[in-house]
């Protein structure tokens, strides 16, 4: 029996992942029933729009991530953070992110306000990765609401596949010098930020037998992560070769300080 609500088994029969797949975003409009499922129907918090830290070029690489909750698209700063963007795209092209989960959701009152994923399987095992890359946090891109950045270990240059999305401003993660290197922002959510906000509302708990204290009680699977052609998808539009596309509409562990807020591995210490 799984300790979390998943497609495979639930103690009370509420297979949320399966229900979401069947009902889609319409389920979000159902009046709140309270309890552990309230995140599905409660109104989204008023957090304001996503404002890119710097303007994105028209040809910025784009990646669409699909989850049981919905889809969102990130555009990458390939010129400002070439190593980070290329690293992310390498994992995307290899299909590495398919079947991984968002394993960490930090609540607003933690002072971190991120959702983190891209490196663990549903049973919370870390996947093997390529070698770490150089930290590009000094690019000048700030960890503002809607940005995506690379997670890492205490070593500033230890990032591999895991990433996090800031659902609120987290400027404490910005580069402040060699002694406070920060976390490298390499892109920003350009469609579907309401999906990220919905995921941020999922209740969390300690995963038995691990040191993970902010694990979602509902499995938030990354079903797929795929490149998109820049500039083709937009409000009211659809990409050639696809029958449909979900268009975005406007709308953990105890705090450990800026030195280790979003560790690359699954077991921050």
User: Residue 202 is part of a domain; what is its CATH number?
Assistant: 2.40.100.10
Half-sphere exposure of 107 (CA within 13 A, CB side): 14
Percent helix, strand and coil across the chain, each to the nearest 5: 20, 20, 60
Whether 180 maps to a domain, the answer reads yes
Q: Rounded to two decimals, what is the model's pTM?
A: 0.75
Q: Is the pLDDT of residue 33 over 90?
A: no
pLDDT of residue 231: 59
Torsion sign (Cα): 17, 20, 25, 26: negative
Per-residue confidence (pLDDT) for residue 154, from 0 to 100: 94
pLDDT in tens, 43-78: 888 999 999 999 999 999 999 999 999 999 999 999
What is the C-alpha separation between 147 and 80, in angstroms, rounded? 14
Instruction: Return all residues near 64 (Cβ < 8 A) that are at least 6 apart.
Output: 71, 72, 73, 191, 224, 225, 226, 228, 233
| Per-residue model confidence (pLDDT) at position 36 | 65
**69 within domain boundaries:** yes
Per-residue pLDDT, 39: 79
Do the domain assignments include residue 173? yes
In a domain, 36, yes or no: no
Question: pLDDT tens digit string along 150-199?
Answer: 999 999 999 999 999 999 999 999 999 988 999 999 999 999 999 999 99
Does residue 220 lie in a domain region?
yes
What does residue 101 show for φ and ψ, rounded to 5 degrees?
A: -130, 160
CA–CA dist 63, 60 (Å, integer): 10
Tokens of 252: 């953990």
Q: Is the pLDDT of residue 268 over 50?
A: no
Q: Which residue in 269, 258, 225, 192 sits closest to 88, CA to CA?
A: 225
- Classify residue 122: in a domain, yes or no: yes
- Provide the domain limits for residue 193: 54-228
Residue 236 is assigned to a structural domain of this protein:
no
| Residue 166 within a domain | yes
Q: What's the structural domain count of the chain? A: 1
């Amino acid at each position: 029996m799984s300790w979390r609500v998943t497609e495979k088994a639930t103690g009370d029969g509420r297979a949320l992942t399966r229900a979401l797949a069947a009902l889609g975003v319409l389920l979000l409009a159902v009046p709140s029933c309270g309890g552990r499922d309230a995140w599905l129907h409660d109104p989204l918090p008023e957090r304001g729009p996503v404002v890119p830290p710097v303007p994105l070029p028209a040809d910025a690489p784009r990646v669409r991530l699909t989850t049981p909750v919905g889809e969102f698209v990130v555009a990458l700063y390939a010129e400002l953070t070439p190593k980070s963007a290329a690293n992310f795209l390498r994992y995307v092209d290899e299909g590495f992110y398919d079947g991984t989960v968002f394993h960490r959701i930090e609540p607003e009152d933690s002072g971190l306000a991120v959702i983190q994923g891209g490196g663990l399987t549903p049973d919370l095992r870390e996947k093997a990765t390529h070698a770490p890359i150089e930290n590009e946090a000094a690019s000048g891109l700030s960890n503002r609401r809607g940005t995506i950045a690379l997670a890492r270990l205490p070593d500033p240059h230890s990032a591999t596949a895991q990433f996090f999305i800031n659902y609120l401003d987290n400027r404490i993660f910005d580069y402040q010098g060699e002694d406070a290197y920060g976390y490298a922002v390499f892109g920003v959510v350009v469609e579907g930020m309401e999906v990220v906000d919905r995921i941020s509302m999922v209740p969390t708990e300690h995963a038995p037998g691990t040191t993970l204290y902010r694990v979602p009680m509902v499995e938030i699977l990354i079903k797929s992560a795929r490149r998109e052609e820049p500039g083709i998808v937009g409000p009211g539009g659809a990409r050639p070769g696809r029958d449909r596309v979900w268009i975005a509409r406007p709308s953990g562990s105890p705090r450990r300080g800026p030195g280790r807020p979003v560790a690359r591995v699954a077991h921050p210490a």
